[in-house]
């Protein structure tokens, strides 16, 4: 990794941390991206739609901005076929509902709060991710 990529990764990490802290400080909400996205479509008349849409728009705008300034850092190389991606997306969605949180909610915010539940959830999904990658790479399923 070159120095520019390292600096951008550091800046990205700082921005993720700042966004999570600001969302908690200003809204009292944990920055769980899967929950923010999923609940965007379940408007309950509670007035949370605007901030959810703004948060997700910020993620997309950030990607577009990085891609325009440093296209080499924003290349997407798919290593699996469309069916593997669909199955993976459904499993991730199921897992985030089952564990009441996602990698950003548990992994970034929960670990920062030293939440026992988040530590266990993060360890569990990291282990499952490593096992899945190992199995798929050696079985040829993802192609």
- State the pLDDT at residue 47: 75
Domain count, the chain: 2
pLDDT of the residue at 69: 86
3-state secondary structure 42-105: CCCCCCCHHHHHHHHHHHHHHHHHHHHHCHHHCCCCCCCCHHHHHHHHHHHHHHHHHCCCCHHH
pLDDT in tens, 52-107: 888 889 889 988 988 888 887 777 777 778 888 888 888 887 887 777 777 778 88
pLDDT single digits (tens) 32-64: 888 888 888 776 667 778 888 888 898 899 889
**pLDDT at position 104, please?**
79
Residue 57 confidence (pLDDT): 92
pLDDT (mean) for 101-124 = 85
pTM: 0.70
Mean pLDDT (whole number) for 125-139:
84
Looking at the predicted structure, is the pLDDT value of residue 142 above 60? no
Same domain, 89 and 121: yes
C-alpha span between 55 and 125 (Å, rounded)? 24
Residue range of the domain that includes 90: 79-143
| pLDDT at site 140 | 67
113 and 56 both lie in a single domain: no
- Write down the residue that tokens 């910020």 correspond to: 58
In the listed set 57, 76, 95, which residue is the last one of a domain according to the structure? Answer: 76
Q: Of 27, 46, 76, which residue is a domain's last?
A: 76
């Amino acid at each position: 990794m070159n120095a520019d990529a390292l600096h951008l990764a550091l800046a990205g990490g700082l921005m993720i941390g700042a966004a999570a802290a600001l969302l908690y400080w200003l809204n009292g909400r944990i920055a769980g991206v899967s929950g923010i996205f999923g609940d965007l479509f379940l408007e309950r008349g509670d007035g949370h739609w605007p901030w959810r849409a703004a948060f997700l728009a910020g993620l997309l705008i950030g990607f577009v901005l990085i891609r325009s300034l440093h296209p080499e850092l924003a290349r997407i190389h798919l290593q699996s076929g469309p069916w593997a991606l669909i199955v993976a997306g459904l499993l991730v969605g199921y897992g985030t509902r089952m564990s009441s949180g996602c990698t950003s909610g548990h992994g970034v915010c929960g670990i920062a709060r030293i939440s026992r539940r988040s530590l266990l959830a993060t360890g569990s999904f990291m282990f499952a991710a490593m096992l899945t990658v190992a199995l798929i790479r050696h079985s040829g399923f993802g192609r």
